[in-house]
Every structure is written in C-alpha cells, then in structure tokens.
C-alpha cells in the first residue's frame, strides 16, 4: 500500500481456526496484509470450532501463539466469533474482511461471511493449493515413508505402507501426499530479503522444523534474543530421513522452509543445510557469531560424530533451554494417533462437506 502519511490507514480483518498453522494459513495472511496497512486476525476458540467444525489438533492458546508469531499479523483477537459480524469488524475499525476462495459455513450450513458480503465488505484471496490442516492430519494418520517422495493419491499407496488407515481418508481424492509445488516467486514473497547490518550479531540455528509449531516458535524467539540477525538452516528430506527414520519428515523441505520464513523472528534460511555445522555454514553465507541449539541431546551425524563439534571447538556454541516438552513434532503426532477414531470421524465429516459443496458448485 502507499506510504502517504496523509492517507487513512486501511485495516483488514481475517479470521479462522489456524489449526496446525502452516504456510497456507501464512500465505492467506500475507495476501490479506497486502490489501491494506494493518492486519487484524481473529482466531476462534476450541469451543466454537468444536461446535461448527469438529475437534482441533492444537489447543486454542497454542493457535493464538502461532498466529501471533506470523510476521504479517499486526493484532490477534482471541476467541473471535465463528460468524463474522459487522459489529466485530467495527470494534477493531476494520474496513473489510478477507477470506480464501473456499466456502466456510456454520453447523447449520449458513455462510459465515454472509453479513459482510451483504454489506459489501468482503474480499477474497487465493487459497494455497496442496496444503491444509485436513491433509496434514491425513499424513499423520498414514505415517508412510512415501509422503515426501512422490505426489500420488492416498488411494494409490500400497497397503503395506499404511499403519491402519480408515477408508474414509483412503478414498478421498482431495488428500495427497506432500504435493506442495513451491515456486521461486513464493519463496521470495515469504522472504524478507534483509541482510545483516554492520555490527549485527548473527545467530545460526538448524533443524528439521517439521509440522512447524509453538515449540519451534519459542525456540526461534529465544535464539533471536541472542543477537540481531537469525539465520536458520533447514535440513533436506533425505538427511532427515536418514537421521530420524523412514516416517520423517512429514512435510517436505519447501513446505518447512515456507513455514519457517513466515515466522517473525527469522531473517533468512539456508535450504538443505548440512546436518553437521561446518566452515561453509559459519562463513560462506554470513559470518556466524553464535551457533545455538536446544539443551536436549541431538542425534549424531551418520558418521557418528557430534553435529556441533566445530562450533563447540571454536567457543561459539550456546545452548538454549528448550520450551515445554509437551509441544514437539512427536507430541503432535501422538495426539492424532491416540485419538485416531475422533480424527477419522472429523475427516469423514469434512470430506462429506467438501463433496456437497462441489455438487452445489457444479449445479450453478
């Protein structure tokens, strides 16, 4: 938007569940922010979502934190109503509401945005193809080794690769395996493009950052506080697979990169960073002053060596106290596995809803 100081600030309203906040959510916020100057993001409570949509994977406080960490969100409104009203937009002085080009309804089938549409205060942004919370839950229910190697439908995966998956998801053609196809344009849109200033202290961290969550966010926040510029190395799929096992990562490299780039604490990323921190990492991109890692043991490299051997020898290694152990990638997967039946039923309801919506559109 124009930076003319005499122009009235355009305030934009966006709302949603933002369950398992992913790069599709972040891209919606990016597009919405580009339509104005100040972005207000309403996040629904667990109770509201349960009533109209079904159970969430992430608890409301976790979802609030995830949205607050997105660099395009200026203000987060907690416990926002599921039905978007003119009253709530007026309360936060918003000029219009933005939503993706898909339909969101109440439990009775009412369009959640009918009131703002009738008032001429509704705009659409383009939904990001290839990623959704439903699709991510499907991947966790599958836990197959093939999800980051090919873009095939769930129905085509050999049954021997499945852990015990329900036919509700198996026969849903909308759920694919890690079929994110990022372009250079998308990565540029997510990137700040900011270089370190003279005298800036550059902090380097690395990791998988799979199913990017509030544990990652808190870690990155703490790492950023050690300096002025945060450089994040993200390991490629094959490296993660070799170190952590055949079921990982659940998200491919480019999906994980976009999620990390959307975080307000991150300045730059290295795609496919080596698992062991070497001279190239420490000096070829930027001169790294601090290498930080959590205070939990890390997996050794495939050669059996400590991946942080070099920064430790140079005296630039710093340990950060890890956030709550409850919020980890494994912890999120366990939530799905422990409540498999509940999430399979949720998936079935969403699939049926999507089918009815498709039939409605075809009748137009």
CATH: 3.40.50.300, 3.40.50.620, 1.10.10.10, 3.30.465.10. Which one for 8-144+330-363?
3.40.50.620
What is the per-residue pLDDT across 297-308, written as a single tens digit (0 to 9) for each? 889 998 999 999
What does the buried/exposed string (b/e) look like for 264-279 if buried means 16 or more CB atoms within 10 Å of the residue's CB? Answer: bbbbbbbeebbbbbee
Ranges of each domain in the chain: 8-144+330-363, 184-320
What is the per-residue pLDDT across 148-167, written as a single tens digit (0 to 9) for each? 443 333 233 233 333 333 33
Which among 179, 183, 181, 182 has a CA at the least distance from the CA of 150?
A: 179
What is the per-residue pLDDT across 244-268, written as a single tens digit (0 to 9) for each? 887 899 999 999 999 999 999 999 9
What is the per-residue pLDDT across 338-359, written as a single tens digit (0 to 9) for each? 888 777 777 677 667 667 766 7
Measured in whole angstroms, the distance separating CA 211 from the mean position of its chain's CA atoms is: 7
For residue 182, name the pLDDT band (cuts at 50, 70, 90).
low
Q: Tell me the C-alpha distance between 316 and 203, whole Å.
A: 10
Q: How far are the Cα atoms of 49, 99, 106, 335 from residue 52, in angstroms, in the given order?
A: 5, 17, 5, 21
Q: What is the pTM of this model?
A: 0.83
* Residues whose CB is less than 8 angstroms from the CB of residue 125 and which lie 6 or more positions away in sequence, other chains included: 28, 31, 32, 35, 98, 99, 100, 101
Averaged over 225-239, what is the pLDDT? 97
Q: Tell me the C-alpha distance between 224 and 206, whole Å.
A: 13
pLDDT at 339: 80
Tokens 């309801």: give the residue: 349
pLDDT at 244: 86
Length of the chain: 364
For residue 181, name the pLDDT band (cuts at 50, 70, 90).
low
- At CA 216, angle to CA 125 and CA 140, rounded to 5? 70
Which among 69, 75, 78 has a CA at the least distance from the CA of 47?
A: 78
Averaged over 200-221, what is the pLDDT? 96
133-142 vs 340-363: helix crossing angle, rounded to 10: 140
Task: List the beta strands (DSSP E) in the chain.
Answer: 11-16, 38-43, 75-78, 96-100, 122-125, 202-207, 229-234, 268-271, 290-294, 317-320
pLDDT at 195: 94
What is the per-residue pLDDT across 307-325, written as a single tens digit (0 to 9) for each? 999 999 999 999 999 876 6
Domains 8-144+330-363 and 184-320 share a fold: yes
Q: Is the pLDDT of residue 144 over 60?
A: no
For residue 361, name the pLDDT band (cuts at 50, 70, 90).
low
Query: Tell me: domain 184-320, CATH 3.30.1330.60, correct?
Result: no
pLDDT at 155: 31
How many alpha carbons lie under 13 Å from residue 179 in its C-beta half-sphere? 14
What is the end-to-end Cα distance of the chain in Å, rounded? Answer: 36
> Please, are residues 133 and 175 in contact by the beta-carbon 8 Å criterion?
no
3-state percent helix, strand, coil for the chain, nearest multiple of 5: 40, 15, 45
What is the per-residue pLDDT across 100-114, written as a single tens digit (0 to 9) for each? 887 777 767 788 899
For residue 140, name the pLDDT band (cuts at 50, 70, 90).
confident
């Amino acid at each position: 938007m124009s930076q003319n100081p005499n122009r009235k600030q355009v305030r934009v309203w966006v709302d949603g569940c933002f369950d398992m906040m992913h790069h599709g959510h972040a891209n919606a916020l990016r597009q919405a922010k580009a339509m104005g100057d100040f972005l207000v993001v309403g996040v629904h409570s667990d109770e509201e979502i349960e009533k109209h949509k079904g159970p969430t994977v992430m608890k409301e406080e976790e979802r609030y934190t995830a949205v607050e960490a997105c660099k395009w969100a200026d203000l987060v409104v907690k416990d926002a109503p599921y039905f978007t009203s003119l009253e709530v937009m007026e309360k936060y002085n918003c000029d219009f509401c933005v939503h993706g080009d898909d339909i969101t309804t109440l439990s009775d089938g009412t369009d959640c945005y009918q009131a703002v549409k009738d008032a001429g205060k509704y705009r659409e942004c383009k939904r990001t193809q290839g990623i959704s919370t439903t699709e991510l839950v499907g991947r966790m229910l599958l836990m197959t080794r093939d999800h980051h190697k090919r873009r095939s439908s769930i129905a085509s995966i050999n049954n021997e690769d499945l852990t015990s998956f329900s036919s509700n998801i198996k026969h849903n053609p909308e759920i694919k395996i890690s079929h994110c196809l990022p372009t250079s344009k998308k990565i540029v849109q997510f990137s700040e493009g900011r270089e370190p200033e003279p005298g800036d202290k550059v902090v380097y961290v690395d990791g998988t950052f799979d199913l990017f969550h509030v544990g990652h966010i808190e870690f990155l926040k703490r790492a950023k506080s050690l300096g002025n510029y945060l450089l994040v190395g993200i390991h490629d799929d094959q490296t993660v697979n070799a170190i952590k096992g055949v079921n990982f990562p659940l998200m491919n490299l480019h999906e994980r990169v976009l999620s990390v780039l959307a975080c307000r604490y991150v300045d730059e990323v290295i795609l496919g960073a080596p698992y062991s921190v070497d001279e190239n990492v420490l000096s070829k991109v930027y001169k790294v002053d601090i290498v930080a890692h959590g205070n939990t043991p890390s997996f050794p490299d495939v050669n059996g060596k400590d991946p942080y051997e070099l920064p430790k020898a140079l005296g630039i290694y710093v340990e950060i106290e890890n956030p709550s152990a409850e919020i980890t990638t494994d912890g999120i997967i366990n939530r799905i596995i422990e409540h498999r039946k509940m999430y399979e039923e949720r998936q079935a309801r969403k699939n049926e809803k999507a089918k009815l919506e498709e039939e409605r559109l075809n009748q137009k």
